[in-house]
Structure 1
Amino acid sequence: MSRVVLVGALDTKGVEYAYVRDLLADAGLRPLLVDAGVRGEPRIRPDVTRSEVARAAGRDRREIAALATRAEALAAMAEGVAALLGSLRDAGEVDAAFGMGGSGALSVLAPGFRSLPLGVPKMIVTTMASGDTRPHVGASDLLLVPSIVDIAGLNTVSRFVLERSVAMLAAQLGRPVPSATGGDGKPMVAASMFGVTTAGVSRACRVLESRGLDVLVFHANGLGGRTLESLAEDGWLSGVLDLTTTELADDLAGGVASAGPGRLVAAGRRGTPQVVSTGALDVVNFGAPETVPEAYRGRRLYSHNATATLMRTDPREAAVLGARLGAKLSAARGPVALLLPTGGTSALSEPGGPFRRGAPSGVPAPRVGAAADGRRGGDRRGGRLGAAPVERGGRVDGPSPAGRRDRSARRPHRLRPRLPHPRSARHGRPRGHRSGDGPAASPSRPSARRRSRSIR
């Protein structure tokens, strides 16, 4: 029988929580009622008292009640709820979580609910289910259900909403929680995609699916990137096909699709194989045209639709982005391949595209040893990924410099991440290597090809 943790303020919502508790019991579930109230006396008896919630946060209930402001008291109880849910999760005593209320309830319940693993049903019936819910939901699968009416007594509408919500929760508990190998045992690989990278990413995903991988596609709109990082951090992913890194540009220039400074970090920290590219790194996202900051009004802009205006990155921003990308990938503990597209960083930068005409026509590229797009493979000898220097003489979506052999003309036989080694005995010294850059090559050291790990 599944355990459902009911958490809320029983001083103001006691009647409503008693009703939901009985609905859960009638559905064959085991409710555990937790009181997260602060000042008033609970109207029904809880299974876990507010004193126990406070102690879970290392606080005393009376100390919390005496705090100067309600906001401080709610924040303290939120810590207690999160700590309590963590303890119950570790003990295997939480199969789902349910709560209800307004903005105060969300501030207390959402942090703890978000901490529960993916697939554990977590639901809050609230008056705050519309508008910007990102601060509450974050990158989790927390479900906010519109209460329609305020959570202030039982009536025809509130009973209907609560009954349907309990039915949804019970239905979710009837399905198994997914595992890191996917429902059918296939290893899971994450892919990042945006409207202007859809064609190339879709093609790459079909290749991975044909090789028996379960591909999860994330929209690189800020929330998608944070969700990808969260799954990578929790060990769900066997590999990452991060071809769309546009969220780095938004983080740099203040766009609306920033995933924060933690983007492109989790997979590298865990040693998860990564294939990364600069997809849509030429784009910064804003809303309707009037929302573009005044400082950017003179820049090259493109109206993607009525509510999305895209700004072309300039050479200075591109240099910073190249350095940041190189630094993040150089810090990775697992296999990494960086693919630099030669036909356009996004659909907007393809020949004839609105971001292709005139200068700047592309993104300066860090000196790395692999460059490829969906049609052509790159130089496989490679060099170590670096945050700097930035190659000033060419652009990744422009033609090869005159007189230089284009090594990207060869078609790759397979798509696999590689961790290039600059002094590999198999590949020899890369171009640009100078004596004194490091220790001499060791013939006994395994080559990058043999050391790299395939995600086929």
Structure 2
Amino acid sequence: MKRIYVVGTADTKGEELAYLADAIATTGATVARVDVGTRGAVVPVDVEAREVASWHPDGTSAVLVTNDRGTAVTAMGIAFARFIASRHDVAGVVGIGGGGGTSIVTAGMRTLALGVPKLMVSTLASGDTAPYVDVSDIVMMPSITDMAGLNRISRVVLHNAAQAVAGMAARAARIDEGKPSIGLTMFGVTTPCVTAIAETLRDDYDCMVFHATGTGGRTMEKLADSGLLAGVIDITTTEVCDMHFGGVLPATPDRFGAIARTRLPYVGSVGALDMVNFWAPSTIPEKYSSRLFYEHNPNVTLMRTTSEECRRIGEWIGEKLSQCEGPVRFLTPERGVSALDIEGGAFWDPEADAALFQAIERTIRPTATRRVERLPLHINDPAFAEAAVRAFREVLG
């Protein structure tokens, strides 16, 4: 039987935790009350903090035997993430918390597959929620008042949270229904290419396009790790530039990691590897003051990558793709990698592009299923999109 997990620190938020759980139960949903506090619970719970703490890699003592609150909160977050990921009866998760509780509960929520209802009632929900939500589908609900005992406001907020999570759990749609899904990466400067690919494949696939803004690539790879993609057409790998050279839309070092772990059919390219992204000109590091820039808009400034930077980028990508044992095709467009990198364009630099292509070809380890292909085309040429579609159909077998 599926259950809605109601999670909070039952030592400091016990009254609120009990009220929320009871409100969910009145909807007919089955509830599991989980304590993630580091002191004794003040209300009855179904899963005690000690049980959750036992899931820490270093055991219960790493969580509960410490006088440092920060250490305990971090450790409990690790333990709860492992605990909730091990459950096979999760209909949804709702958490309550201030700073510590929000950190603990959302650490676990982020391990769950997309589509599983996740609602966090938090005192931090009206601020910067990025560290808590990351690339997951967590819904953050402001608690309005602090959680220091029930009051006329908190009762309304918790009642609404109960109705919301119960409704989501009762009507949770399957994210893997219908046509098989594929992930595609796009930037403004690769839009013609990716749009053409998606239009060609849309009759056969649910084409999910991700904006290559750092979170976009990570979200796509989370879907891959969750088993929700049938393949990837990764035309726009620009996030790697920002990761290496201090841009504001970076990948993480795990970029391409999901492709290696899942062995998904993969077609990639060098889209927008000619640029590093910064905000307004005043935000650009002084060390780059003499570089070539392009004002994309008043808030976004692009910096052209040099030949040496392109070499480093190419080697890094080649090494990462060499770890992918599934079918891989990597296409390099010799006449430019973005709308700006075209003959007569602001970032046209054949020498830098050549350094990029050569580094990828020199570094990637070719096999019968892993190949790099050069094409005498611009990345936004319709013929390049057609080549990418052919390559994708080929890697799918």
Same-fold status (TM-score > 0.5): yes
Q: Please name the residue that 1:373 is paired with.
A: none
Instruction: For 2:197 and 2:59, locate their aligned partners in 1 and report how far apart those are by CA, in whole Å.
Output: 55
Instruction: For 1:329 and 1:63, locate their aligned partners in 2 and report how far apart those are by CA, in whole Å.
Output: 37
Instruction: For 2:30 and 2:245, locate their aligned partners in 1 and report how far apart those are by CA, in whole Å.
Output: 49
The 3-state SS of whatever aligns with 2:270 is strand
Task: Give 1:101 deviation, angstroms.
Answer: 1.2
Instruction: For 2:274 and 2:342, locate their aligned partners in 1 and report how far apart those are by CA, in whole Å.
Output: 11
Return closer, same or farther for 1:290/1:396 CA change in 2, 3 Å cut-off: farther
Instruction: For 2:156 and 2:75, locate their aligned partners in 1 and report how far apart those are by CA, in whole Å.
Output: 33
Question: Aligned AA for 1:80?
Answer: A
Return closer, same or farther for 1:66/1:354 CA change in 2, 3 Å cut-off: same
The 3-state SS of whatever aligns with 1:95 is strand
Q: Please name the residue that 2:32 is paired with.
A: 32
Instruction: For 1:177 and 1:410, locate their aligned partners in 2 and report how far apart those are by CA, in whole Å.
Output: 36
Q: Please name the residue that 1:421 is paired with.
A: none
The 3-state SS of whatever aligns with 2:396 is coil
Aligned residue runs from structure 1 range 155-174, under 5 A: 155-174=151-170
Instruction: For 1:95 and 1:110, locate their aligned partners in 2 and report how far apart those are by CA, in whole Å.
Output: 16
Instruction: For 1:234 and 1:49, locate their aligned partners in 2 and report how far apart those are by CA, in whole Å.
Output: 28
1:417 and 2:359 correspond: no
Computed over aligned residues only, the root mean square deviation of the Cα atoms, in angstroms, reads: 3.3
Task: Give 1:140 deviation, angstroms.
Answer: 1.9
Question: Aligned AA for 2:193?
Answer: G
Question: Aligned AA for 1:5?
Answer: Y
The 3-state SS of whatever aligns with 1:6 is strand
Q: Please name the residue that 1:331 is paired with.
A: 323
The count of aligned residue pairs is 389
The structure richer in helix per residue is 2
Task: Give 1:361 deviation, angstroms.
Answer: 6.8
For normalisation by structure 1, the TM-score amounts to 0.76
Deviation track 1:298-321 (CA, whole Å, cap 9, x = no partner) reads: 211222223322111111101111
Task: Give 1:253 deviation, angstroms.
Answer: 0.6
For normalisation by structure 2, the TM-score amounts to 0.87
Task: Give 1:137 deviation, angstroms.
Answer: 2.1
Task: Give 1:328 deviation, angstroms.
Answer: 2.5
Return closer, same or farther for 1:365/1:38 CA change in 2, 3 Å cut-off: closer
Q: Please name the residue that 2:184 is paired with.
A: 191
Instruction: For 1:97 and 1:335, locate their aligned partners in 2 and report how far apart those are by CA, in whole Å.
Output: 37
Higher alpha-carbon Rg? 1
Q: Please name the residue that 2:194 is paired with.
A: 201
1:278 and 2:235 correspond: no
Q: Please name the residue that 1:217 is paired with.
A: 209
Q: Please name the residue that 1:257 is paired with.
A: 249
Task: Give 1:68 deviation, angstroms.
Answer: 3.2
Question: Aligned AA for 2:67?
Answer: A
Q: Please name the residue that 1:377 is paired with.
A: none
Could you tell which deviates more after superposition, 323-332 or 186-195? 323-332
Q: Please name the residue that 1:234 is paired with.
A: 226
Q: Is the 2:313–2:356 Cα contact (8 Å) retained in structure 1?
A: no
Task: Give 1:342 deviation, angstroms.
Answer: 4.1
Question: Aligned AA for 1:70?
Answer: R
Question: Aligned AA for 1:364?
Answer: A
Specify every segment of 5 or more residues in structure 1 that has no aligned partner in the other structure, as ranges.
371-380, 399-407, 419-448
Q: Is the 2:377–2:384 Cα contact (8 Å) retained in structure 1?
A: no
Return closer, same or farther for 1:129/1:306 CA change in 2, 3 Å cut-off: farther
Task: Give 1:147 deviation, angstroms.
Answer: 2.1
Instruction: For 2:22 and 2:11, locate their aligned partners in 1 and report how far apart those are by CA, in whole Å.
Output: 18
1:150 and 2:146 correspond: yes
Structure showing greater relative contact order (alpha-carbon pairs closer than 8 Å, 6 or more residues apart): 2
1:6 and 2:2 correspond: no
Q: Please name the residue that 1:431 is paired with.
A: none
Specify every segment of 5 or more residues in structure 2 that has no aligned partner in the other structure, as ranges.
362-367
